[in-house]
């Protein structure tokens, strides 16, 4: 009797839909069981796939890891197994670059089941709407109404996202970023951080949304944070949030935010690869994504779900209101070595935001970390 073991991340959005869909799969396929374990959000971002591939048949993964494992033989590629028509359908139904974010070296290493990027959130009982540009963000910040997640990983994502929004290239050449552009972005973030509660430097997006969604006296607006439909659904928190497109720096253009989301991968070491692949294609497909996956608290990666009337009605139009940001999100580097840079880069930007170092020293340190990761 086949029993498959999966690993996902510890949040209702990451765990509950995997359990619900696995139970439904087991009912439709008597004799097959899929059991899920979970790890913290930080471990999800940090834990190497090689530490999981021997133990788990199925893994929910973050796309920046694919460059490290593409040539390792740890994951099963979804192309070349007789499902290329299904892959083409999923590619056509991708929200932004969600589906291609798991392609590397000409192979497809995971299927997008969840789509996210930093978007804006606000309390409709505290402000009437959200600003569209940086001047509007600063106006709210000066009124004490702004907070957003700035633990090291989110500090780096905000830095890179704002850089891309102003048209700067990031990690595309020998230089990590043009120094003038980097200084401009550090200045932008530094200015708003000086007007926010210092606890923002200790919170991830979940922490910000918990603060906003469960506390009467809370910030009214978060300009950047990986979106969570959970906090827009009735009954999830005391003060449901409205999500909308991220603000642009110089105008109403949210482009450049750093794509997130998750994909489902199959271990090459699994003796149940065919079953695992069938399940993966099913949960990534439109019917499951807009139905059971979403209803169990998931945040779909399939555009059919993003366009679905029911999914939008249940989330205060989360999907419609943030789609432009998702469709213009930037795919961060995935080269072998990038994850080491991401770990160091977050700490470097965070040190600047704490006031521990200068902008010039910060850019020097980012360049040095980038060069080391490329080597």
Q: Listing from the earlier edge strand, what are the strands of the sheet with 120-122? A: 221-222, 120-122, 242-244
Interval 300-309: pLDDT, tens: 999 999 999 9
pLDDT averaged over every residue in the chain: 96
Residues of the chain with pLDDT under 70: 43-47
Interval 282-322: pLDDT, tens: 999 999 999 999 999 999 999 999 999 999 999 999 999 99
Residues 6+ apart with CB under 8 A from 204: 41, 149, 151, 153, 154
Interval 62-76: pLDDT, tens: 999 898 888 889 999
Closest CA to 342 of 160, 180, 208: 160
At 249 the three-state DSSP class reads coil
What pLDDT is stored for residue 231 in this prediction?
A: 97
DSSP H helical segments within the chain, as ranges? 12-28, 41-46, 66-69, 84-92, 134-142, 152-165, 179-193, 205-214, 273-284, 286-288, 294-295, 303-306, 309-313, 318-327, 338-353, 359-374
Q: How far is CA 268 from CA 1, 136, 278, 373, in A?
A: 20, 49, 15, 27
Closest CA to 93 of 343, 255, 308: 308
10 burial (CB, 10 Å; 0-12 / 13-18 / 19+) is middle
Quick check: 90 and 99 in contact, CB under 8 A? yes
Q: DSSP letter at 252?
A: S
DSSP string, 49-113: GGGTTTT-SEEEE-GGGHHHHTTTT-B--STTSS-HHHHHHHHHTBSTTTTGGGEETTEE--EEE
Quick check: 276 and 4 in contact, CB under 8 A? yes
Evaluated on CA atoms 113, 118, 122, 127, the torsion sign reads: negative
Residue burial 240-278, b: 16+ Cβ < 10 Å; e: rest: bbbbbbbbbbeeebbbbbbbbbbbbbbbeebebbebbbe
What pLDDT is stored for residue 69 in this prediction?
A: 86
């Amino acid at each position: 009797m086949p029993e498959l073991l999966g690993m996902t991340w510890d949040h209702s959005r990451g765990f509950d839909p995997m359990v619900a869909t696995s139970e439904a799969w087991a009912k439709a396929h008597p004799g097959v069981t899929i059991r899920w374990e979970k790890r913290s959000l930080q471990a999800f971002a940090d834990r190497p796939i090689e530490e999981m591939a021997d133990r788990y048949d199925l893994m929910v993964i973050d796309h920046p890891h694919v460059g490290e494992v593409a040539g390792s033989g740890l994951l099963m590629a979804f192309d070349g197994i007789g499902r290329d028509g299904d892959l083409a359908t999923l590619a056509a139904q991708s929200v932004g670059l969600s589906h291609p974010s798991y392609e590397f070296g000409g192979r497809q290493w995971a299927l997008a089941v969840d789509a996210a990027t930093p978007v804006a959130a606000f309390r409709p009982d505290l402000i009437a709407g959200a600003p569209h540009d940086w001047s509007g963000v600063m106006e709210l910040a000066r009124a004490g109404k702004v907070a957003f997640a700035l633990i090291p990983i989110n500090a780096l994502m905000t830095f890179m996202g704002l850089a891309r929004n102003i048209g700067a290239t990031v990690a595309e050449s020998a230089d990590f970023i043009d120094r003038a552009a980097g200084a401009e972005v550090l200045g932008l973030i530094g200015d708003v951080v000086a007007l926010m509660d210092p606890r923002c430097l200790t919170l991830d997006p979940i922490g910000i949304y918990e603060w906003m969604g469960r506390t009467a006296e809370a910030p009214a607006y978060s300009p950047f944070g990986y979106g969570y439909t959970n906090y827009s659904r009735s009954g999830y928190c005391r003060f449901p949030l409205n999500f909308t497109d991220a603000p642009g720096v110089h105008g109403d253009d949210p482009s450049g935010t750093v794509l997130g989301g998750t994909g489902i991968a199959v271990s090459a070491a699994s003796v149940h690869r065919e079953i695992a692949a069938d399940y993966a294609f099913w949960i990534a497909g439109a019917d499951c994504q807009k139905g059971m996956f979403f209803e169990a608290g998931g945040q779909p990666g399939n555009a059919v779900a993003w366009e679905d009337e029911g999914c939008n009605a249940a989330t205060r139009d989360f999907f419609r209101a943030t789609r432009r940001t998702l469709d213009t999100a930037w795919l961060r580097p995935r080269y072998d070595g990038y994850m080491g840079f991401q770990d160091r880069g977050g700490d470097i930007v965070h040190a600047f935001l704490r006031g521990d170092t200068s902008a010039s020293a910060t850019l020097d340190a980012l360049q040095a970390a980038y060069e080391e990761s490329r080597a």
